[in-house]
Structure 1
């Protein structure tokens, strides 16, 4: 199919794809903050380097064709991924078909002046735990070698309907268990880990292989990689996004995690993903997506966070190393300069019984692979064996875990009410980078590389933003901003103001040319099921909504 507009015809010529509206005046209306930028404000060069909102604006205006954007992303991947290794598989044939179909949808919408999703024509990467019918789904593990998804996950159904272009599946730490994703190099320094378990998605974003990606977050699995790679993530309120058709780690803590280079890009993705799914009833119990979607741009002005109170925990466990803390302190200085007040807070302690619940839920799923323990990586085989053995725990102990989790949620919400908080700010990771094999054998449920578990047990929303780079290693450092359950829109709005003041997401790593060694795969006959993942026990037998905030 012919591409109607060449790259030379795009508006402007400077590289970088920066948004001219990064600091919007205080008089900007709410509607403007939820809209894509005007095409004439977008500076366009190599489409692969553009932000998602920039690319979406040009796609909608007919100044960029989805096929051209896809070709740029694939070319960059093929030229540089050999050293990074972000992708498990690519699907170029299917992606070109989807890009051409998206181009036709966009052209029809322009002719008929009808609404179309802003995701139409945008390439996206899925973590290798989200099912797409007829495509391999392996959780980056030999255990599932040859497995073909039996149906679509709930998130892919939404993305497909919106016209997103699936470029491929990205690596996860095996079965999303660990914190390193050791098969992937961090684009800022490939000797370092991109974090886990959504490390492949974070690396693909940082390397500018794709503008949008999907991860998951069970114990920081999206936030830790976002922080390590200098990109952004949203861990939504538990139940805001369907987990149907997703390979689980622990059902009561698994969250789907929109990931992107900027928070505005991630909010664009969340606007499509959030909302009720008939296959995941818990999604019908929360707040609806705001009219017009989640905000995409900052309001701006001299003191856009005036009246906002942000708690700073005095008892982070583990505490950040000095180089990380210096970046966090600088971030907090910016927050205060925008008008916010920061106050010290003490987080509620995590009950010891929570570890029991994690083990039981993990073992409940992995017991089906008990005859394949030798196919797990050795460090993961130990963790899986312990999880399967935990199924002997008395059922009363598991119910105690559920009671303790609900009590923790209540205490977390009470902290916000007692201190009149709008958000809390926590370092994205406690470590200043990590070598690729440094934390092998550590589960995301252990919480040893960052203070992250609070959000999964509370079911609370968290955005992670790049806050700068370490003065010691030069590696990115991120900061988490958390709120009370169902305050996702308010939290994103706060994060956008800070990000506009410290736009470190625009920084790009320097990549070394290295030809990709990624299998390019086509669609096959779907697996027999019963679940879209083509495994047993993936659907959660128990999901309870995040507790509504008090006060």
Structure 2
């Protein structure tokens, strides 16, 4: 008798025509989430068919699972819950077909297969945050964001790969969706690769400093980095509490917005920070605005002090566009023209110059609190705010308790990482008054940033996460200057430090100095809780210019599979490539 997997595989066919309002696609996996939702309800597709189509591509292209290293494929997924996903798909089909389900009509995400970053808990699976040091860290329940997706009937395929301990913007593992020899960006590498490569419909990423925006830009993914606390973090392995944020990564901003709506909202029991979000915020739309000029009345500012780091001239701080490679510069100029054609007013503004220490009392500032004791220590406002939160959540204690049950060599390594790196000074030595003052400095920094927009009557900013195409993976035999990240935004941690939302999406493709098309992303960076505004503007752009986010990488045959090593391959992470604000601070506050 055939097993469940083979029985369902036999049903993988797509012979009926989709509804006339949806353009016919040769492959099931090329439909957007919104289109899949319509096809599910018309009976032209089932969730089982969609799920099988993604699982088949994962089998073909991903390579061996549980591999924090080279695996011969794209290595976007590190583990798959195949049987559970198929059960969820079957249940989703029943819900969609039922007119009398007590839960009511099936939500739009019902039956849609999604990936989840390796740092976010999926019940019954290990969450390892990019390292085998966390083998055995099995979740006893879903993270809040995952539970909300499950409640909507979504299909959870498994965990997407991330950098070791979410610590590198290069992306330690996985391959770029457009060029298997190039870095994918990190730390949410797999969540950026998988939707573009059509291994899932969308995925959840998580960011502390660039971990969503940079891999999205490297792979041409559309992604939303929400305002801090708008999406609850309960069930997520922290890096810096108060900065960490979960966000959706998809092919289109409309698809990402649909997921963002599903996972947003307060979580009183799991994440008290989420209770500080205003209760009355504008609703998030997934529909484009009507008319030929949907951006009319919107002013978009391009900051000239949003410096780009160029490894070819690391000390220079020219206006950002002067550092872009030719194809990036051409795409940027074209994009500005397209925004103006849609009705937007696009202007250059000075922006907040973080090279001036008066403008950075919190993020990468020189302000420090003195702790008078032996030995004498000084601690930054960033550390004060994050240390206190992680102490209250018992994060370090939980990790060290977990380490006690691990083999000696693993226990020693975990204790070294989480004692030495994260616990000086110990949080008990930080008085409450110091924490209040640190939060006040954070609000002061946010007010300075907002004042630069208000002075020019700007609604939100336009920035480029990257200024040139990503380099080769760190294990490639090429000169060092061609590896990893090249020209990219400096101060990429500022949106996290100030809790500001950003949406990024592809605006073109180029081949400056490379032998294959690679994506070029822009980003809208808005005031706190302005998600509705910047998401709508991005959806309106993609509605009029679908050619960018609908593009697909050429099919590439996987390389020979590599046996999964027992331990993670650890690539060196320089402060320039770190996602940890505390490491960035130690390297140099305003550079």
Residue 470 of structure 1 is matched in structure 2 by: 510
Q: Could you tell me whether the CA contact under 8 Å between 1:408 and 1:457 is conserved in 2?
A: no
* 1:484 pairs with one of 527, 545, 549: 527
SS in 1 for 2:169: coil
State whether residues 79 and 515 of structure 1, in contact with CA within 8 Å, keep that contact through their aligned partners in structure 2: no
Cα distance, 1:483 vs structure 2: 1.3
Distance 1:403 1:478 in 2: 34
Report deviation, 1:110.
8.2
Moved more, 206-215 or 127-136: 127-136
CA distance in 2, matches of 1:465, 1:514: 27
SS state of the match for residue 308, structure 2? coil
> Which of 379, 404, 409 in structure 1 is aligned with 2:441?
404
Contact 2:96 2:105 (8 Å CA) reproduced:
no
Which range is displaced more, 344-353 or 252-261?
Answer: 344-353
Residue 334 (1) aligns with residue 318 (2): no
Select which of 529, 541, 544 maps to 1:501. Answer: 544
Q: 2:30 — aligned with what?
A: 49
**In the TM superposition, what is the alpha-carbon distance from 1:174 to its structure 2 partner?**
1.4
Q: SS in structure 2 opposite 1:151?
A: coil
- Going from structure 1 to structure 2, the CA distance change for 1:95 and 1:302 (only over 3 Å counts) comes to same
Distance in 2 (alpha carbons) for counterparts of 1:383 and 1:430:
34
Aligned positions of 1:506-521 closer than 5 A: 506-514=550-558
What is the aligned-residue RMSD (CA, Å)? Answer: 3.5
Are residues 411 and 353 of structure 1, via their aligned partners in 2, closer, same or farther at CA, if it must alter by over 3 Å?
Answer: closer
Is the partner of 1:410 in helix, strand or coil? helix
Matched with 1:282 is 273
Q: Match of 1:18?
A: none
**Relative contact order (C-alpha < 8 Å, sep 6+): which is higher?**
1
* Structure 2: tracts of 5 or more residues without a match: 64-72, 310-319, 365-379, 481-486, 565-591
Q: What's the CA shift string for 1:164-195, capped at 9, x where partnerless?
A: 10101011111212112221100111111111
Q: What is the SS of the residue equivalent to 1:354?
A: coil
Q: Aligned match of 2:115 in 125, 129, 133?
A: 125
Q: Name the CA shift for 1:49/1:103 in 2 (closer, same or farther; >3 Å).
A: same
Tell me the SS of whatever aligns to 1:96.
Answer: helix
Tell me, in whole angstroms, the C-alpha distance in 2 between the residues paired with 1:95 and 1:516: 27
Matched positions, count: 487
TM-score normalised by structure 1 residue count: 0.80
Does the aligned pair in 1 maintain the 2:466–2:488 contact within 8 Å?
Answer: no
- Cα 1:97/1:290, change in 2 over 3 Å: farther
Judged with a 3 Å threshold, the aligned counterparts in structure 2 of structure 1 residues 97 and 487 are, in CA distance, closer, same or farther, namely: same
Contact 1:482 1:491 in 2 (8 A): yes
Is contact 2:126–2:139 with CA below 8 Å preserved after alignment? yes
Pairing 1:310-389 to 2, within 5 Å after superposition: 310-319=300-309, 321-323=323-325, 324-348=328-352, 349=354, 351=360, 353-355=362-364, 356-358=380-382, 361=386, 365=395, 368-369=399-400, 385-389=420-424
Counterpart in the other structure of 1:461: 501
Q: Is the 8 A contact 1:81 1:515 kept in 2?
A: no
Distance, in Å, in 2 between the alignment partners of 1:288 and 1:400 is: 26
Q: Distance in 1 between matches of 2:53 and 2:556?
A: 17
1:113 and 1:251, CA in 2 relative to 1: closer, same or farther beyond 3 A? closer
Asked which structure has the greater CA Rg, the reply is 2
Q: State how 1:116-515 maps to structure 2 within 5 Å.
A: 116-279=106-269, 280-288=271-279, 294-319=284-309, 321-323=323-325, 324-348=328-352, 349=354, 351=360, 353-355=362-364, 356-358=380-382, 361=386, 365=395, 368-369=399-400, 385-389=420-424, 391=426, 395=430, 400-437=437-474, 450-472=490-512, 473=514, 474-503=517-546, 504-514=548-558
Sort the Cα spacing of 1:318 and 1:152 in 2 relative to 1 into closer, same or farther, 3 A. Answer: same
5+ residue gaps, structure 1: 13-37, 441-446, 521-551
